[in-house]
Structure 1
Amino acid sequence: MTTITPKASAGLEAVTEAARQAPGRGLPPVHLWNPPHCGEIDIVIRADGVWMHEGSPIGREALVRLFSTVLRKDPDGYHLVTPVEKLRIGVEDLPFRAVAMRREGEALIFTTDVGDEVRVDADNPIVVETKAATGEPRPRLHVRRDLWARIVRPVFYDMVEAAEAVDGRLVLRSAGQAFDLGALS
């Protein structure tokens, strides 16, 4: 078990306090904060979306949601950020998972595993890459400021059903934009 140093423990408290200010007032402006790097904290977001602290799942959904509001990706990795501290965390794949999709008028709205709702449009695109070794599609959705969500398999199946064939490709439309899901096979 990893021990949190007193400085990292104080950082965890600061992150929690900064995040508590977000509900009801939108997301905190983490992109405007430029605090000093204070080290690493033993938090890992697993590929399956589970947030781990010191090897154990963080069981409180509200705490995960709070942390997600102060998450930022910098050139050197993912960090939980407050106005006065920045702590690096680990992310195995992408920090969020898109777990639901619905259509509202001409737009698709995705819900992430931390409760964010994302309207798919030119600013929040869907990107589908293919795993070289298996040919498996790896769809993702832009959530905010270089933070992405992996689209889970059942939602991807819903996307494929909602897509249309255009010139041998599957195309999904949202908010006046067309998103290529891949070749028809």
Structure 2
Amino acid sequence: MSVPADSKTGLAAVAEAATQAPGLGLPPVHLWNPSHCGDIDIVIRRDGVWMHENSPIGRPELVRLFSTVLRKDTDGYCLVTPVEKLSIRVEDLPFRAVAMTEAEGALTFTTDVGDRVEAGAEHPIRVDTDPDSGEPSPALHVRADLWARIARPVFYELVERGTVEDGRLMVRSRDEAFSLGPVGAGAA
């Protein structure tokens, strides 16, 4: 695919493509199939901090813009524009669910990049358990193949809302039930 001479590349192209997402809307990254152009030195750390060349990206607006052109492909996480695809590194999951509200039986989560996601069939909650430590790792589906790690205080809120069903701690959002893990003696 040829790239027009006046096309921006790298961070400038990513930022320009992301501006197609005014407010909380999202650009159609699922429709873009550019050639892979290489790696860009962006890392989303385990704690949710976005780093560029070993320095935190200090502008939340810029992180939000980049998050709107983030995609997970079979070869890993990348930032995409209509004309290029740049691989980035994600240490855990790309987003953090940092707040939760409940209204009319629905649990709505807010991510560290401003997404609001209602848990349900299209946005499940899952809890993986570390086989060695037994530590739970809760996550929420955000969009496409992108997930948010549920922050510890938010997970504690979920646990407080849970009810025991068939030996498992369950939480509900609308008509969907999600397991937070087993309960009882010897439960991890």
Please state which band the TM-score falls in when normalised by the shorter chain: over 0.9
Which residue of structure 1 lines up, in the alignment, with residue 109 of structure 2?
110
Secondary structure at 1:27's aligned position in 2? Answer: coil
TM-score by length of 1: 0.93
Offset at 1:10? 2.5
Q: Distance in 2 between matches of 1:80 and 1:117?
A: 21
| 1:112–1:25 distance in 2 versus 1, CA, 3 Å | closer
Which residue of structure 2 lines up, in the alignment, with residue 68 of structure 1?
67
TM-score by length of 2: 0.92
Matches within 5 A, 1:41-60: 41-60=40-59
Q: Distance in 1 between matches of 2:142 and 2:58?
A: 23
Q: Is residue 167 of structure 2 the alignment partner of residue 168 of structure 1?
A: yes
Which residue of structure 1 lines up, in the alignment, with residue 4 of structure 2?
none
Offset at 1:165? 1.0
| 1:25–1:59 distance in 2 versus 1, CA, 3 Å | closer
**Does the 8 A contact of 2:44 with 2:51 survive in 1?**
yes
Q: Distance in 2 between matches of 1:25 and 1:139?
A: 24
User: Could you tell me which amino acid in structure 1 is paired with residue 138 of structure 2?
Assistant: P
Secondary structure at 2:9's aligned position in 1? Answer: helix
Aligned length: 177
Secondary structure at 1:158's aligned position in 2? Answer: helix
Which residue of structure 1 lines up, in the alignment, with residue 177 of structure 2?
178
Q: Which runs of 5 or more residues in structure 1 are unaligned?
A: 1-8
Q: Is residue 3 of structure 2 the alignment partner of residue 39 of structure 1?
A: no
Secondary structure at 2:58's aligned position in 1? Answer: coil
Q: Distance in 1 between matches of 2:22 and 2:96?
A: 20
| 1:171–1:25 distance in 2 versus 1, CA, 3 Å | closer
Which residue of structure 2 lines up, in the alignment, with residue 3 of structure 1?
none
Offset at 1:67? 0.1
Which residue of structure 1 lines up, in the alignment, with residue 122 of structure 2?
123
Q: Which runs of 5 or more residues in structure 2 are unaligned?
A: 1-7
Q: Distance in 1 between matches of 2:22 and 2:94?
A: 19
Identity %: 69
